[in-house]
Amino acid sequence: MLQALMREVSPAFGRALVRRPGAVPPDAERAAAQHAGVVAALRGLGVEVRVLPGSPLWPDCCFVEDAAVVSDRLALITRPGAESRRGEVAAVREALGAVRPVVEFAAPLCLDGGDVLRVGDRLLVGRSQRSDPGAVDALRAAFLPEDIEVFGVPVGDALHLKCYASAPVSGLVVSVAGWLPDALLPAGVERLVVPDDEACAANMVGVGETVLVAAGYPETSRRLRAHGLEVVELELDAIAAADGSLTCLSILYAG
Ligand code: CIR
């Protein structure tokens, strides 16, 4: 059964990192309600979800994706690029340690899981301001025994590689046009392009043939349905107010 590790929105979410702060800080209460909507949607699709308590110490703790990269064989605990987020990994390490052997990502290198996109037997790794170029070699060494190939991908000034790409169902990558070089996609993987004015919608989570997407991006939903997928739209604007999107709210792994 598919498992998801999630973590509640911190009561200190108002102090979450925001790249372009708006007039009002992120709203912890609304974000918590939207987070609960994601938990319910995943459970409704049969995913076994474990939700860790949020911590007032770690305003960004609901973005668990950044804390680990999990394969069938191991859980690699990251060292997040933002210093204010480093303490988030302890609770994630403890939870994943119960289900996988844990490997630590060695300092001084940094890596955010939001930069790591698994497509088939490849890991595409964004070289962002949060993830060092050397992270590519470290991931290659960690995942070599599973024959997982690792490739670095420039992401310009985007926060993470997965801001504009995801791989919600087997054999499919969703991205904005030109975001991931075709040559990096394994043979047989299709790409569904979202329109540039819906770029943030490219980050989505899939379970079977159903995809959870952010509400408010009608053309993306239309294209997904035309591709034969079931689409569940979720309100996520309060999560997006702290630069979060769907994949960052969970760590998905096979049980
Ligand atoms: C941050 O800036 O680190 C958080 N406010 C947002 C992290 C989003 N993570 C993700 O997309 N993987």
Asked about 248 being catalytic, the answer comes back as yes
β strands within the chain, DSSP E: 2-7, 48-52, 68-70, 75-77, 102-104, 116-119, 122-127, 149-154, 165-166, 172-176, 190-194, 205-207, 210-214, 230-234, 251-254
115 lines ligand 1 (CB under 6 A): no
Say how many Å lie between the CA of residue 188 and the centre of ligand 1: 30
What is the model's pTM? 0.97
Per-residue pLDDT at 107 exceeds 90? yes
**Cβ atoms within 10 A of the Cβ of 166, count?**
25
* pLDDT at residue 27, rounded to an integer: 98
Query: Dihedral of CA 2/206/238/125: which sign?
Result: positive
Query: Sheet of 210-214: strands edge to edge?
Result: 205-207, 210-214, 230-234
Say how many Å lie between the CA of residue 211 and the centre of ligand 1: 21
Asked about 163 being catalytic, the answer comes back as no
Which residue out of 110, 160, 163, 200 is catalytically annotated? 160
* pLDDT at residue 106, rounded to an integer: 87
Three-state secondary-structure class, residue 214: strand
243 lines ligand 1 (CB under 6 A): yes
Residue pair 249/6 in contact by the 8 Å Cβ criterion? yes
The CA distance from 223 to 244, in Å, is 23
Q: What is the pLDDT of residues 200-226, one digit of tens each?
A: 999 999 999 999 999 999 999 999 999
244 lines ligand 1 (CB under 6 A): yes
CA distances from 209 to 89, 168, 173, 228 (A): 31, 9, 13, 8
pLDDT confidence band for 147 (50 / 70 / 90): very high
Q: Which residue has the higher pLDDT, 198 or 23?
A: 198
Task: Judge residue 110's burial from the number of C-beta atoms within 10 Å of its C-beta, 0-12 exposed, 13-18 middle, 19 or more buried.
Answer: buried
160 lines ligand 1 (CB under 6 A): yes
Q: What is the pLDDT of residues 220-248, one digit of tens each?
A: 999 999 999 999 999 999 999 999 999 99
Which residue out of 110, 163, 200, 248 is catalytically annotated? 248
Give the rounded percent of residues in the chain with a pLDDT score beyond 70: 100
Q: Kindly give the number of the ligand 1 atom that is closest to the alpha carbon of 59.
A: 5
- Total residue length of the chain: 255
Query: Dihedral of CA 188/232/5/254: which sign?
Result: negative
